[in-house]
Amino acid sequence: MSTITPLIAAVQQAGSALELLRATAALAASGDSAAAPTLVEVLGFNNPGAAVAAVDGLIAIGTPAVEPLLQLDPRNYGARAWAVRALAGIGDVRGLDLLIEALRDDVGPSVRRAAAKGLGSLKLQALDADERAAIEQRCLEALLEGYRDGEWVVRYAVTVGLEGLALGGGWPDSHPPHGRACEALRQRSDHRHEDARVVRLRAELGLTRLLPC
């Protein structure tokens, strides 16, 4: 019997919201990949405190948590929203489609926000050059499209995502996607294109990081 069996049982038998929160936090802290399916289940329990703890645990588990997250029933909206946050934090490339879809279509600004940040922080180092370039291209297009979002916080997250994508890609200045990302940030730092001052300031910061002089 593994040491996490009682931790899993405690989550499944929790009789109150507070008990569930505590049991989930304990299971999440184990960092054991065998905890992943149970933590994914918690995402559907409609208990935000426990879901936050479960997301933290799933991100800590990382790669082994990706499959159970992708297998979530798409009709379970609440659980999917938390899954987007977990996948954004894990940065596994298998989450790409879900992140793109979430940024484009999700009704919750907090979900779109997490997806945008996640699209800028996928871990692509292990892939071969062609595959990597193709995925970076898809992330770039999705993020640029994300600037049409009506919520300032999503456009803020898109800005952070673009910066992360360009820095993480280690793109040379001559690489066309680098130019497009910089151009988008430049536009975003202009009050004629962006109402929210905080977004303009974040875009300026991104530019100084991408174009150090």
Partner 1 sequence: MQGPQRMAGEPISEAEALERLRQNDDPSMQYYGAWWLGRNRSQHPDAVPLLIEALRQRRPRAPGAGVEENAVARNAARALGKLAPAAHAAIAELLAALDDPDDGLREAAARALGELKARQAVAPLCRRLAPGPAVVGAQQPNNPRLVEPCEALLEALGEIGLADDTVRGVIEPFVNHERPLIRSAAARALLQLSDEPRWAEPLLALLRHEQLHVRRAALMDLGAAGYRPAVDAISTTLAENSLKLIALRGLVENGRGEPDDETLLVAMDALL
- Contact positions vs partner 1 (CB under 8 A): 48, 109-110, 113-114, 116-117, 152-153, 156-157, 160, 196-198, 201-202, 205
| 50, 76, 149, 211 from 171: Cα distances, Å | 39, 38, 26, 11
78 or 109: whose CB is closer to partner 1? 109
User: Among residues 80 and 113, whose Cβ is nearest to partner 1?
Assistant: 113
Shortest spacing between CB 196 and partner 1, in angstroms: 8
Give the span between the Cα atoms of 157 and 114, in whole angstroms.
Answer: 7
Q: For helices 17-30 and 48-61, what crossing angle results, to 10°? A: 10
Please state the closest distance from residue 69 (CB atom) to partner 1, in A.
19
| Amino acid at site 89 | G
CA-wise closest residue to 135 among 122, 126, 150, 145: 122
Residue 52 or 133 with smaller CB distance to partner 1: 52
**Minimum distance from residue 184 beta carbon to partner 1 (Å):** 17
Nearer to partner 1, 138 or 152 (CB): 152
